[in-house]
Structure 1
Amino acid sequence: MDKILVVEDNAELSDTLCRNLQAEGFMPYAALSLAQARKYLDSGIDLCLLDINLPDGDGFAFCRSLSENTAIPVILLTVRDGAQDMVQGLSIGADDYVTKPFRMDILVSRIRAVLRRVRNRRPGDGCLYCGDVCINKKTSKVYKKDCPVELTPNEYQLLLLLLEHKNQTITREQILEKLWDVDGNYVNDNTLTTLVKRLRQKVEDYPQMPKMLLTVRGFGYKAVDYEG
């Protein structure tokens, strides 16, 4: 379930947005100010709906901060409809711009479109994406919904192998040929089963019903994209 941070100082509009988003299958988080919004940034937010005019700061500045310091996409919500404001918002990192008043079905469509784009983004940014999981190959760090995930070296190597061959079945034999434990010892078949189980516990929402790291019976495993 995608988490949507709604940063809107109009309490009535915020409540309406949150109720409608929940009805559409999202998990909304309401923030009536930037101070409240910042408290949710470590909650695995998938997208931010951001009003420009807020009581404790400038929405444009907050948008720039999100763009520079997180991977959270932003859709700006504003009563302003001038081209200059739209250009400014998009130039500082906003992913879309919606002018009030708006139809809820159109806003939901824009949200889903942005989420699809960011999950298939930037092939040249040094990262691998699958579902809501990201591997930064430059830093060897793993994130789930923008939150760091601590993996052992073998868990990391297994996830990297599967994401480098996303949507392809990798046989158990191929995986075993690639993986060695931290002491340089060969990883055997039983160890691989345990390794996959541990990895799912860290990157799947429901490890017993995996959506990303799938077992291909009789062959091996594959990583597939999915919408949360």
Structure 2
Amino acid sequence: MRENKILIVEDDRGVAEGIKFYLEKEGYRVVMAGSLGGGRVLYRQEKPDAVLLDLNLPDGDGMSFCREIRKNSQVPILMVTARDMETDEVMGLETGADDYLTKPFSLTVLRTRLRKLLERQQKGGVENHILKSGEIFLDESRTSVRKGAESLNLSMTEYRLLRLFLKNPNQVLLKEQILAVIWDSESNFVDENTLAVNIRRLRKKIESDPSNPMYLKTIHGMGYLWEDLKNA
């Protein structure tokens, strides 16, 4: 199996070098860029398996790069930033990031989150099966989703959430259950805010009226329920 290639887009050379050294010891291949422009070039040239993306870059905001990537790719994106406001985390996740890590952080936690993102990406399309509910079609063989004739561009986290709901229709999934399945045994590294943001992002893509969802219902104080609309 080939080594996973990681693109680090970080303007603090010391931080970038430290992460690079640590990840290479763990068996990853790492390429680095210190600017938004450099990150764009390396992303096109290197086709990385995951991106570690800083938000504060000398020539722009990392969120704009995240949006660009999400237009045509589900590559895992882990935002690594000194911005520690909850609104910044929400904005980062809303633009398409799969996870968000605030500086200073533990390299062990960074490695664990990165490993989980890569595992989820690699497991995403193993099964050859189509799941359907109403206008929503999920093709596990292609890791693709469409609503009617419209192809939907989901992040890997959104895709796995949708697949979990489609495989468990008409039953309440507790928040703790969802965290355990989507983020595996390391769910202690994420919180309910991350889940809520990803649910909100998913609703925007699958629901005609996200504020009044037809499929993905909130069960207050418990979790979420997917209402199966087979005859829609």
TM-score interval, normalised by the smaller of the two chains = 0.5 to 0.7
- Report the counterpart of residue 6 of structure 1 in structure 2: 8
> TM-score if structure 1 supplies the norm length?
0.54
Q: Matched residues in 2 for 1:41 and 1:20: separation?
A: 21
1:46 partnered with 2:59: no
- Report the counterpart of residue 64 of structure 2 in structure 1: 61
What amino acid maps onto 1:11 in structure 2?
A: R
1:87 partnered with 2:90: yes
What amino acid maps onto 1:9 in structure 2?
A: D
- Report the counterpart of residue 31 of structure 1 in structure 2: 33
- Write 1 or 2 for the structure with the bigger share of helix: 2
Superposition map of 1:141-156 within 5 A: none
Q: Matched residues in 1 for 2:10 and 2:73: separation?
A: 20
What amino acid maps onto 1:105 in structure 2?
A: T
Larger CA deviation: 120-129 vs 12-21? 120-129
What's the secondary structure of 1:119's corresponding residue? helix
Deviations 1:170-212 (A, max 9, x none): xxxxxxxxxxxxxxxxxxxxxxxxxxxxxxxxxxxxxxxxxxx
What amino acid maps onto 1:28 in structure 2?
A: V
What's the secondary structure of 2:30's corresponding residue? strand
What's the secondary structure of 2:71's corresponding residue? helix
Deviations 1:118-140 (A, max 9, x none): 222377554636xxxx899xxxx
Partner residue of 2:112 out of 73, 87, 109: 109
Q: Matched residues in 1 for 2:50 and 2:56: separation?
A: 18
What's the secondary structure of 2:123's corresponding residue? coil
> TM-score if structure 2 supplies the norm length?
0.53
Query: Which ranges of structure 2 fall in alignment gaps of 5 or more residues?
Result: 131-136, 146-232
- Structure 1 residue 109, shift from structure 2 partner: 0.2
What's the secondary structure of 1:85's corresponding residue? helix
Task: State the Cα RMSD in Å.
Answer: 2.1
Q: Matched residues in 1 for 2:12 and 2:138: separation?
A: 37
Q: Matched residues in 2 for 1:116 and 1:33: separation?
A: 28
- Report the counterpart of residue 192 of structure 2 in structure 1: none
Q: Matched residues in 1 for 2:124 and 2:94: separation?
A: 18
Q: Is the 8 A contact 1:67 1:73 kept in 2?
A: no
Q: Is the 8 A contact 2:138 2:144 kept in 1?
A: no
Quickly say closer, same or farther: Cα 1:135–1:76, change in 2 above 3 A. Answer: closer
1:128 partnered with 2:141: yes
Q: Matched residues in 2 for 1:107 and 1:72: separation?
A: 17
Q: Matched residues in 1 for 2:20 and 2:9: separation?
A: 11
What's the secondary structure of 1:69's corresponding residue? coil
What's the secondary structure of 1:41's corresponding residue? helix
Quickly say closer, same or farther: Cα 1:50–1:125, change in 2 above 3 A. Answer: farther
Superposition map of 1:73-84 within 5 A: 73-84=76-87
What amino acid maps onto 2:30 in structure 1?
A: P
Query: Which ranges of structure 1 fall in alignment gaps of 5 or more residues?
Result: 137-228
Q: Is the 8 A contact 2:67 2:96 kept in 1?
A: yes
